[in-house]
């Protein structure tokens, strides 16, 4: 008899969670900060599908892409800095844990799994949100985007998380919500569970050598915040 997804998860002694969009609903608040920022820089409001496609990418890559896409000359570094300021000052505090993902993390911790969070977010933001939502005591390592030179889809952040856990890559299972992140996991030669908005987005553990087709999501499962123009 084939194992259920939950039973397959239990086969891995080391577990790595992405944070934004995987453990926390913070992705929608990042989107709100992006739209508040681009308004100040003279861009139109960014479509949800476009923001979704940027999930997991470094801020500098996103700002350059936006300038190219809209043919607007702007200081990408200043855009990224302002987006971070807006997120931290106006939106970050609204992020909450997805109930199912938070419950799973706590269950795995209770089962004796070694757990890391690997996120592209900054360390200060990550610690604040994980502590605010009561998840920080359940992780053994936290790896953030400012600790690696090459962001997703490079494997660096996952490999560093495995190193912090003293874990071989082939014994790690990673939970991730973005296509870019899934590519990074594959590049790290790790197994994955694809999620979206805190829910499983696959019916089995996706192995490193497995061909995998992303699910298209055209609308959020949770309401999108509508920030006022700044």
Enter the DSSP assignment of 20. Answer: B
User: Cα-flanking dihedrals φ and ψ of residue 229, to 5°?
Assistant: -60, 135
Cα angle 102, 137, 156 (rounded to 5 degrees) comes to: 80
Cα angle 226, 221, 108 (rounded to 5 degrees) comes to: 120
Bridge partners (DSSP) of residue 114 are 14
Q: Is there a catalytic annotation at residue 18?
A: yes
Please measure the distance between the N-terminal and C-terminal CA atoms of the chain and give it in whole angstroms. Answer: 57
Enter the DSSP assignment of 24. Answer: B
CA 181 – CA 211 distance, rounded (Å): 15
CA atoms 15, 215, 48, 184: torsion sign: positive
Residue from 10, 18, 68, 75 carrying the catalytic annotation: 18
| Chain-centre distance for alpha carbon 2 | 29
> And the tokens for 39?
């308004």
Residue with tokens 């089962």: 111
Active-site residue list: 18
């Amino acid at each position: 008899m084939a194992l259920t997804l939950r039973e397959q998860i239990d086969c891995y002694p080391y577990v790595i969670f992405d944070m934004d969009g995987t453990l926390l609903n913070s992705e929608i608040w990042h989107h709100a900060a992006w739209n508040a920022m681009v308004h100040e820089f003279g861009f139109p409001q960014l479509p949800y599908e476009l923001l979704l496609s940027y999930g997991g990418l470094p801020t500098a890559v996103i700002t350059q892409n936006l300038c190219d896409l809209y043919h607007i000359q702007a200081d990408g570094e200043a855009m990224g800095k302002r987006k971070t300021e807006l997120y931290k000052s106006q939106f970050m505090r609204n992020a909450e844990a997805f109930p199912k993902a938070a419950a799973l993390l706590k269950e795995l911790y209770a089962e004796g799994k070694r757990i890391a969070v690997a996120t592209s977010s900054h360390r200060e933001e990550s610690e604040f949100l994980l502590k605010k939502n009561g998840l920080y005591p359940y992780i053994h390592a936290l790896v953030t985007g400012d600790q690696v030179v090459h962001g997703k889809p490079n494997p660096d952040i996952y490999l560093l998380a495995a190193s912090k856990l003293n874990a071989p890559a082939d014994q790690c299972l990673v939970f991730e919500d973005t296509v870019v992140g899934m590519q990074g996991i594959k590049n790290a030669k790790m197994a994955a569970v694809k999620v979206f908005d805190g829910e499983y987005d696959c019916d089995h553990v996706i192995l490193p050598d497995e061909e995998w087709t992303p699910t298209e999501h055209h609308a959020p499962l949770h309401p999108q915040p509508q920030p006022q123009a700044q």
